[in-house]
Structure 1
Amino acid sequence: MDIERYIRQIAIPGFGVDAQKKLSRARVAILGLGGLGSAVSIYLTVAGVGHLKVVDGDKIEKNNLNRQILYTEEDLGKWKAEVVEKRLKEMNSDIEVEGLREEINEDNVRELLRDADAVVDCLDNFETRFIVNRAVVELNKPFFHGACRAFYGQVMTIIPRVTPCLRCVFPENIPKDRSIIGVTAGLIGLIEATEVIKYLTGTGECLYGKILIYDATRMSFDIIEVDRNPDCEVCG
C-alpha cells in the first residue's frame, strides 16, 4: 500500500492508516457501469479499495456519453467492462480490477457476488435490482442501492436481515425511465461511494433503515426512515 498516495485521507481525524488498510483489503462488486457505475468506480479506485469487480454486459453507445464519464467518443462500440478495467488500472496501479462482460441474471448472480465484501447497485432497472436484492439477502452481503432519473435520485444502504431490503421498500417493479442529466447520476454515485467507504472503514453513520431522496430542482436532500416489512417475500 502506497501511503504517500493516500496521505490526504489518512490525515482525516479518526481515519488513519488502519482505515486505509481496511480499504486495501476490501473486495467490492460494482454492478452496472453507466452513469452511477462510472462515478462509483472512479472514486473507489482512487480511494484505494483493493479489489474491484466491475460488471456490465453492454457496449458503449453515443447516448451514454452525457453521463458515463469513463468513456470517450473513441470507445463507442467497445465493451464497457473491458474499457473500465483498463481505465481504472491506469488510475491506480495499487489495486486489482476485474472487468466482467456479463448480463446479471438468476443463473450467475450468486457466483458473481460470492467473494464480495460489499455490493454496489449501479443498475438501470428494478427487475435486475430485485434479482440482486434476493441474492445479497441469501448471501448476507451489504448492498448499496442507488437510482436516479432526470433531476432526482435516491440512496439506501442495506444490511440483510438487519435493515429493510429493497423489496421491503419497493414491493412492486418500477418502470424504467431513461431520462437523465449527467450531474444527477454523478452525485448519486458519489453518495453511494461515500457510503461504501464509510461502511468498509467503520466511519460515521451509514443510511441504515433510511432512504436519502435528492431533488436537484429544489436542491434538497430529504432522509426518510423506513422499516423492515415482516411479510417481505425476500427477507421477512
Structure 2
Amino acid sequence: MANPTAALSGSSERFGLRLATNLGLAQPHSNVAVSPLLLQTALALLFAGITPSSAPTAQQLARSFGAAILGTPDQALQQFQQLLGNLKQEVAIGCQLRLLSEFYTQQRYTFSFRDEFEARAGTLGIGVQRLDFNNWATTTSVGELVSSHLLESSSASDTPFLHVSALTFRAPWAQAFDAQETQCINFFPEGSHNAKLVDAMFLQHRFPICGAALVGCLRR
C-alpha cells in the first residue's frame, strides 16, 4: 500500500517550487524566499476541505497537486501532522529546517526548531502570534507580507523573507504542475539588478519539515 505521507511530501515539494518560481517571475528584480511552514499550512487546509464527495472542481484541484483524496478532513490533517512531526524527531541528530531561501537567495535562514523560527521571524516584524502551530484548522491569518521598510530596518539580515497571507487558485485545475517550468530560475547577485540564470533540479535532502525531497540549486 502506498505511503500517503510520501504523496503529500511530493505534492508539497512541487507546490513550493511552483509558488517560489511564480513569485520570482512576478518580482523580476528581487530574490524571493518562502516559508515552508506556511506552504504546509496552506496545503493542509486545502486538502482538509477536499473529500470524495466534494465538487469536481475541488477534486481536480487535489489532482493538480499530484496527490489523491486524503479521506476525511481529520485524516488529512493527521497526515500533515505526521509529516511535520519529523522536525521534532530529527532535530536531535542535527537536522535543520532550511527555508527555500537556499533556493532563491545567497543567504540562508536555518532553524533547528520552532522557537528559533519564531525568534528570527520576530526580528523582521512578522506577526508570528498569528501562526497557530497546534491547530491546523485555524481560521486566523497565517502570516503577513513583510514591507521593504521592515526588511531594510532588520539588523539580522538583508534577505527578503516572505510570509504568504493569501493564495489564489484559478481554473482549470486538472493540469498538473510541470517540473520542466522550474528547471531554470533567475538569481540576482548581491548589489546587482542583472539576473543570472541558475540551473535547478530535484535533489534529495534531509528536510524535516516535510520529511522528503527538497528542490535545491546545483550552482550559481
Q: Same fold (TM over 0.5)?
A: no
Larger RCO (alpha carbons 8 Å, 6+ apart):
2
TM-score scaled by length of structure 1: 0.27
The answer to which structure has the higher strand fraction is 1
TM-score (norm 2): 0.28
